[in-house]
Structure 1
Amino acid sequence: MSHSLESLVVRHTLRLPAPIGPAGQGAVAARQFDAALMEVGFKLSAELLARLSELSEETVVDTAARTLPVVRELVGDHVQHNAYFIDFPANVPDTVDFWRDCLVRALADESVRPGILDQLSTGTVNLLTLPAYGRYQHSYADLLAAHEELIAAVGDRVTVLHPGGELDDEIGALYLALAGSATPLGDERLADLAMLAGACADGPQPEEIPVRENRAVVNRARLAAGAGLLLDTVTDVLRLACALSDGDVTLQEPTRFRGLSRPVRRALLAGLDSVVAAAPGKLADVPVHREAFKRLGERLHPHEFPQWPHAAEVFAVARGERKAPSFDRRVEELLGAGEIAGAAEVLKSAPGRLFRSLDRLLCGCGTQEELDAVVAAAEAVAPEVAGRVLLSVREHLHNRAEDTGLRRVFVNRRGRAWVSDDRRAPLPGHERGRLIDALDAEIRRRLPDPGHLFVDPDVLDVALPLSGRGTAAGLGVLPRGSLSPVEGELLRFFVYWKQRRRTTDYDLSALMLDEDYATLGWLSWTNLTEVEGEHSGDITEAPEGASEFINLRLGAVRGAFVVPQVNLYSGEGFEEVEESFFGFMLREGEQKGRPFEPRTVRMKSELRGPGRVALPLAFLRGADGRWRAKWLHLYLLGNPTSNRVEGNRVSVATLLRGIVEREQLTVRYLAELMAGDAVTVWDGEKVPDGPVTYIGLQRPEGLHPDSRVVTLENLRDLIPQ
């Protein structure tokens, strides 16, 4: 367990907990460890290298043996990335020529020739019946032998590992950071929190756990440890029950509740009873999740525990035997009657809901008096609204400046995206401005004094992580809507997947669009070569894992947008396969090497989402001719089978336009609120001697130990409570 927790610390913080072992002469082993890390694009900081050098050689070797697999998996180097065309990106054939060659080879094979001739008599041939199509024709060792060693370049990625404290301290700090996060965590990080919570249930706890899903995971661990539960709504108990059944603690998907032991049933019923006894009005939350509470009641058997009558009331409301008018119903009745000011007054008792309803309230106002009442209500309760809600509404208001005629893009919690026409009336300009000023003032009030604020220029256009659900786990992954520079002559995408039970075919493709989002062309299994680049070849099954690549010369790319995508052609979905991930590499023009070189990987993210077409990010050419990545983390529904880039290019272009033309709140916004003109954009040279607040993609070496450091690993810490 300690090794698993240590790997969590390395993955989440890029810090190596202090190894336990005797002092010794570990300098040689430490340099070898550093050299092995550099092969996959990582490096020990000077301080960490010095610390390891003072330990025994055996301790350093053991530390390296535990750490190297963790960082190799971070970058996607824990699997073998073979390519169909052994010389890729050289010698990729024309698509039709390649298909013809596969057909000729099939006709030369007596075991399959009769079937192929039967197909030819009908005028069509199924490519999947050709033995040479879609299956590796050489081993991974053959591929390695066919390629030169990668020559290191100045632009290769170097991710630095820094020294950490004692393992228990690092685990505790990571637990407090995740549990107390002001923004929701993604599925992978929520699973990591569950592991940490089990180890930290008896230790220090966050002063507050503002995200309900996090609280459910923590409560599950506390229940197992016999500690008191953290409950203040009946929905907290419902989420805990979902966690105990390994269900969806976000309550977006129904959970099939398992049979629960009597002690667990007692704990849940006692929790419900205490919540309702302290605040009977919280029964109004039950109708929102009526069916889930009814199914939970069937498992808890509240009639067996008459000592908790208030818990029984919860299930009476769920069954409709007792009335508990919901808060939302009361608000809807007022809105339906046109009483906008009255609805705003009622919503003041639920500040978060008031802010989420501002657009609807403002559009529904018929008089200046009503507009003033809505804005005054928002200004009055702003100090009580969660920081991430304030920021979300601030971003929303910024993008409602005028009637632009653009289409609306909707993205649910799991990254499923769709587009519709925007039929909303424009917001009143004066009131919109008043609200923006009020939000800026409230957000500024909550931000800490940064002292001397140093900012990496590459992080300024990173979108604020208002929800971890919109960001996949991985290396170098930025929140949805972020922009990041792309430096290099060769851009190479890759996808890897390994099927679990069924034959599974994923197809990597890249769509090229012009400035008006019209299609210029694409690279895919149906179009292996274009002037801009090459496709590595179609792999149609992955029992041992499979990879596909697309190679692009950025200087030759036509148009303004390149949109890589992963299409599920057949088999298991992104959430069903044993493993699947996407990434991209950047190389200098003369860097050859293998199709996959970990030192050149700039980003690797897990593919775990709904739908059958994945859109991890897009590449945009700016007016200055420079390329930037726009991070999407989106999934389209697609077709049940046979998804191809040709079939979804219109929907992808429409969706991309909606994302690109929407402006996100970025690190730049918060930095300017925190420090105004005192923000120092760091030039990458000498670091300051004294303590600073540093915000960047990576932690630079040599910062004062009392500095506050915010990097991609803890970017959520910027969001005020």
Structure 2
Amino acid sequence: MRNAIYLRRASKLIVEPGQHRLPQPYLATALKNIEYLGFTLSQPLMEVVQTMSVEQFLELYHQLVSDLKQLIGGNVNFRPMYPNFPKQVMLASEAELYINAIIHYITLQLNEYDALERIPLLDQVDLKIIDLGSAADFDHTIRNLIGAKGSISETDQADVEWVIANYEDVSSILPDEIPLKENVGFVIGTLLKYEKSNSKLISKYIRTATDVLRLAIALSDGDVSLASISKFRKFKRPERRLLLELLEQCGNRVEDMLRYKHRWIRLGEILHPAEYKHKFHGCKEAFDILRNNKPYETFSSKVEHALHLKDTSLAADILQSRPGEFARRLDHMLRMGEDNISVVEKFAAIAEQVSTPVLLQVRAHFSNRNKGHELRTFFPKGNVAKAVAIQNTLPDINSEACEAIVQTCKNTLIRRFAELPAMGDVYVDASLRQYVVPFSQRSASKALRTIVRGSRLELPEGDTIRFYLWWKEGQVDGTPTGRVDIDLSAVMYDEQWQYVEHISYTNLRSAQYKAAHSGDITSAPHGACEFIDIDIPSVVKYGGRYIVATLNSFTGQAYCNLPECFAGWMMRQHPNSGEIFEPSTVVDRIDVTADTRIAIPIILDVVERKMIWCDLALQHHPNYFNNVEGNQKGMVLMGKAMTTLTKPNLYDLFMLHAEARGRIVQHADDAQTVFSVNEGITPFDISTIMAEFIA
């Protein structure tokens, strides 16, 4: 399992050198077989593998093949409605396509077409390299996850939990500090679950009442982000005592508890602090204030009162004691007050105390503040990947104030980064401007390559993009799913986001473009799949610009209630060569597991040949028929939002580090430290970036 995690996270394997000499045919055969899956081994890994016995090697090889197939989706059987797709769909008559669809809808059976022999794959594929890793590097990867400055995904949490459960000594993976509070709750809760912790260790990380609340939620298997309401379980007496002891040591507990008043009241009913006559007096007092609505002036009430009076100078004075909140309210104060100079100066005075993620976001926000973007886009906190886009009605603010804030943030970050170890000569790839800084991966789906929403990836060579979808019906936690019909669709828009055409179960091929759908399968007791091929030059020729790939749960089940559902895409230059699902050509694969019924995995910009990573849920409860035609308005809004997104990018972040910690060079070959898309620190090294560069 450790190698499965390591392979997925870093494309590395831990292999201990042996005392044998592996016969060359074994290694050659293995390399040829994993080449079919799109992978190969690095020279250092091959050298170590050749010291293994045949038995050791075969065990490693079979597990590796199984893990690789799982990563790309090659572990299942892809049997589309039309086995000779795409040519078969393009040549069939409208009558044949219509009659086949009707028969399938009535019988749920597929027509027995003979699968014609296909010519071998003609596409040239760049193989992904699997490198030699180490136990120390693996532990460092997990420690970076725990010490991330942003939220981590459910997949990340599962990896951390496996390590905690299987390591006798967890000291190698625990950092001195866990900066993000929800990670504190999850990690401490997991340590307690597997009896790997003690009160001294817990006290090191728990500092506020909200930390205690998150821990209680973690112990109840709830949402530690606090974005949704979680039900508390009944705690054992030692657990109740521990939570009360942790709460008692927290300063300013009343105000902190008032932020989540009703949750604390429910938790207090379970903790029973009154049972302890001579202990936890601070806890008793706090719960008394909450339960009986006793007056208590909070910090937020003081700030709101000052803003109500439009006294931004007073509000800034109050906020100086809480620098992070000052930074988040900066735009509001500049919009409503006339004394912008005073507010900016007071922000500069406390900027050193503002966290790096907030400074980066403030810098990006005010760099683009007056550019008049049509939409403002937000990603609400929670475990479902949603985006909210609203009309941008913010008035412009003083440009000199914006520039002063941007410069303050830059200078503060450079001074902060300069305290980190030197990096020598540094190369930063300009294409990193297309990649968003990872601040929150909470709702990120498990994927072959994990990337941040809004990032724009270059399309590989090839004219045809092939989307694929696979799902299965059955039972989840003992509950039958019933018949499950998931539909794969692609909608095409022009430069102004005007609808052009779509490919879906209602329109299996395009009248204008070279595009085809493999056929609508409406039941999946043994698994089912759908494909869409789109010829990119033909879309550009007829004025298309954007292609939105969507998944729709036609039968209404949420994806989280399915045994399995995943989607992906591959680039093909010769789409009628090779198999329909050719593992080596897979570019990305993403698990669809959110509590939603419509998903947008990616958007293509076919003019710039960019893939915009979305991993989004469009609607939780669709108001229209659950197909692509019924959700045009929502898709256009999400499309505009994701293609005009303004967020901090990795180029700016790494350039700040380069300026503070090294000397910038123009070529990667001349650098000791490289930041680029394909070598050195890449956008896919998310845990490293979150732990070591958002410092």
Using the size of structure 2 for normalisation, the TM-score is: 0.89
State which of 284, 288, 311 in structure 1 corresponds to 2:259.
288
1:340 and 2:312 correspond: yes
By how many angstroms is 1:719 displaced? 3.5
The superposition leaves residues 236-287 of structure 1 with CA deviations (integer Å, 9 ceiling, x where unpaired) of 1111111111110101111111111111111111111121xxx2x2320111
Specify the SS of the correspondent of 1:673. helix
User: Which amino acid letter does the alignment assign opposite residue 274 of structure 2?
Assistant: H
State which of 176, 180, 198 in structure 2 corresponds to 1:211.
180
Q: Is the Cα–Cα contact under 8 Å of residues 419 and 655 in structure 1 kept in the other structure?
A: yes
Q: Is the Cα–Cα contact under 8 Å of residues 95 and 526 in structure 1 kept in the other structure?
A: no
User: Tell me, which stretches of 5 or more residues in structure 2 are unaligned?
Assistant: none
Distance 1:98 1:237, change over 3 A: farther
State which of 651, 667, 685 in structure 2 corresponds to 1:668.
651
By how many angstroms is 1:659 displaced? 2.5
Q: Is the Cα–Cα contact under 8 Å of residues 18 and 52 in structure 2 kept in the other structure?
A: yes
The superposition leaves residues 186-233 of structure 1 with CA deviations (integer Å, 9 ceiling, x where unpaired) of 222123223223445641320211111211121113333242312000
Distance 1:320 1:402, change over 3 A: farther
Q: Is the Cα–Cα contact under 8 Å of residues 9 and 170 in structure 1 kept in the other structure?
A: no
Specify the SS of the correspondent of 1:510. strand
Other-structure match for 2:37:
40
User: Which amino acid letter does the alignment assign opposite residue 712 of structure 1?
Assistant: D
C-alpha RMSD of matched pairs (Å): 2.5
1:390 and 2:347 correspond: no
Distance 1:100 1:38, change over 3 A: closer
> Structure 1 CA distance, aligned partners of 2:452 and 2:29?
35
Q: Is the Cα–Cα contact under 8 Å of residues 416 and 609 in structure 1 kept in the other structure?
A: no
Distance 1:446 1:471, change over 3 A: farther
Other-structure match for 1:357:
329
By how many angstroms is 1:393 displaced? 1.8
Counterparts of residues 690-705 of structure 1 (less than 5 Å) = 692-699=672-679
Specify the SS of the correspondent of 1:631. strand
State which of 402, 419, 423 in structure 2 corresponds to 1:450.
423
State which of 132, 152, 167 in structure 2 corresponds to 1:163.
132
User: Which amino acid letter does the alignment assign opposite residue 680 of structure 1?
Assistant: Q
Q: Which moved more, 1:249-258 or 1:376-385?
A: 376-385
Percent identical residues: 26
Q: Is the Cα–Cα contact under 8 Å of residues 247 and 255 in structure 1 kept in the other structure?
A: yes
1:642 and 2:642 correspond: no
User: Which amino acid letter does the alignment assign opposite residue 131 of structure 1?
Assistant: T
User: Which amino acid letter does the alignment assign opposite residue 382 of structure 1?
Assistant: A
> Structure 1 CA distance, aligned partners of 2:117 and 2:675?
39
Other-structure match for 2:666:
680
Other-structure match for 1:114:
none
Counterparts of residues 272-351 of structure 1 (less than 5 Å) = 272-275=247-250, 279=251, 281-306=252-277, 307-351=279-323
Other-structure match for 1:516:
496
Other-structure match for 1:573:
558
By how many angstroms is 1:411 displaced? 2.4
Distance 1:661 1:202, change over 3 A: closer
Specify the SS of the correspondent of 2:292. coil
Specify the SS of the correspondent of 1:216. helix
Other-structure match for 1:14:
11
Distance 1:301 1:291, change over 3 A: same
By how many angstroms is 1:311 displaced? 2.5
By how many angstroms is 1:525 displaced? 0.4
Other-structure match for 2:613:
631
Counterparts of residues 396-435 of structure 1 (less than 5 Å) = 396-404=365-373, 406-413=374-381, 414-435=384-405
Distance 1:73 1:362, change over 3 A: same
Q: Is the Cα–Cα contact under 8 Å of residues 490 and 550 in structure 2 kept in the other structure?
A: yes
Other-structure match for 2:447:
474
Other-structure match for 1:597:
582
Specify the SS of the correspondent of 1:92. helix
Q: Is the Cα–Cα contact under 8 Å of residues 78 and 528 in structure 2 kept in the other structure?
A: yes
> Structure 2 CA distance, aligned partners of 1:322 and 1:22?
74
Q: Which moved more, 1:212-221 or 1:691-700?
A: 691-700
> Structure 2 CA distance, aligned partners of 1:453 and 1:353?
34
> Structure 2 CA distance, aligned partners of 1:86 and 1:570?
25
> Structure 2 CA distance, aligned partners of 1:250 and 1:619?
31
> Structure 2 CA distance, aligned partners of 1:347 and 1:465?
27
Other-structure match for 1:182:
149
User: Which amino acid letter does the alignment assign opposite residue 490 of structure 1?
Assistant: T
The superposition leaves residues 29-79 of structure 1 with CA deviations (integer Å, 9 ceiling, x where unpaired) of 333332222111111111111111122222111111222222221112122
Q: Is the Cα–Cα contact under 8 Å of residues 354 and 378 in structure 1 kept in the other structure?
A: yes
Q: Is the Cα–Cα contact under 8 Å of residues 335 and 397 in structure 2 kept in the other structure?
A: yes
The superposition leaves residues 470-511 of structure 1 with CA deviations (integer Å, 9 ceiling, x where unpaired) of 643211342111111113111011122223422221111111
Q: Is the Cα–Cα contact under 8 Å of residues 617 and 632 in structure 1 kept in the other structure?
A: yes
Q: Which moved more, 1:447-456 or 1:239-248?
A: 447-456
Distance 1:646 1:271, change over 3 A: same
User: Tell me, which stretches of 5 or more residues in structure 1 are unaligned?
Assistant: 107-126, 701-707
By how many angstroms is 1:402 displaced? 3.5
Q: Is the Cα–Cα contact under 8 Å of residues 47 and 162 in structure 1 kept in the other structure?
A: yes
User: Which amino acid letter does the alignment assign opposite residue 553 of structure 2?
Assistant: L
> Structure 2 CA distance, aligned partners of 1:100 and 1:617?
29
> Structure 1 CA distance, aligned partners of 2:549 and 2:586?
16
Using the size of structure 1 for normalisation, the TM-score is: 0.86
Other-structure match for 1:547:
529
Distance 1:608 1:99, change over 3 A: same
By how many angstroms is 1:461 displaced? 1.9
The superposition leaves residues 357-393 of structure 1 with CA deviations (integer Å, 9 ceiling, x where unpaired) of 111111111x2xx312221222122222221111122
1:612 and 2:609 correspond: no
> Structure 2 CA distance, aligned partners of 1:419 and 1:43?
42
Specify the SS of the correspondent of 2:434. coil
Distance 1:416 1:159, change over 3 A: same
Other-structure match for 1:712:
685
Distance 1:250 1:572, change over 3 A: same
User: Which amino acid letter does the alignment assign opposite residue 394 of structure 2?
Assistant: R
Q: Which moved more, 1:220-229 or 1:373-382?
A: 220-229
By how many angstroms is 1:5 displaced? 2.8
1:584 and 2:569 correspond: yes
User: Which amino acid letter does the alignment assign opposite residue 469 of structure 2?
Assistant: V
**Aligned pairs, number:** 663
Q: Is the Cα–Cα contact under 8 Å of residues 123 and 574 in structure 2 kept in the other structure?
A: no
Q: Is the Cα–Cα contact under 8 Å of residues 432 and 650 in structure 2 kept in the other structure?
A: yes
State which of 485, 494, 517 in structure 2 corresponds to 1:535.
517
Other-structure match for 2:162:
195
> Structure 1 CA distance, aligned partners of 2:443 and 2:396?
27
By how many angstroms is 1:417 displaced? 2.3
By how many angstroms is 1:171 displaced? 4.3
By how many angstroms is 1:616 displaced? 1.5
Specify the SS of the correspondent of 1:255. coil
Q: Is the Cα–Cα contact under 8 Å of residues 568 and 642 in structure 1 kept in the other structure?
A: no
> Structure 2 CA distance, aligned partners of 1:20 and 1:262?
49
User: Which amino acid letter does the alignment assign opposite residue 304 of structure 1?
Assistant: E
Q: Which moved more, 1:528-537 or 1:420-429?
A: 420-429
> Structure 1 CA distance, aligned partners of 2:8 and 2:592?
17
Q: Which moved more, 1:62-71 or 1:91-100?
A: 91-100
Q: Is the Cα–Cα contact under 8 Å of residues 147 and 691 in structure 2 kept in the other structure?
A: no
Q: Is the Cα–Cα contact under 8 Å of residues 446 and 720 in structure 1 kept in the other structure?
A: no
Q: Is the Cα–Cα contact under 8 Å of residues 253 and 286 in structure 2 kept in the other structure?
A: no
By how many angstroms is 1:673 displaced? 2.6
Other-structure match for 1:119:
none
Distance 1:710 1:586, change over 3 A: closer
> Structure 2 CA distance, aligned partners of 1:151 and 1:62?
29
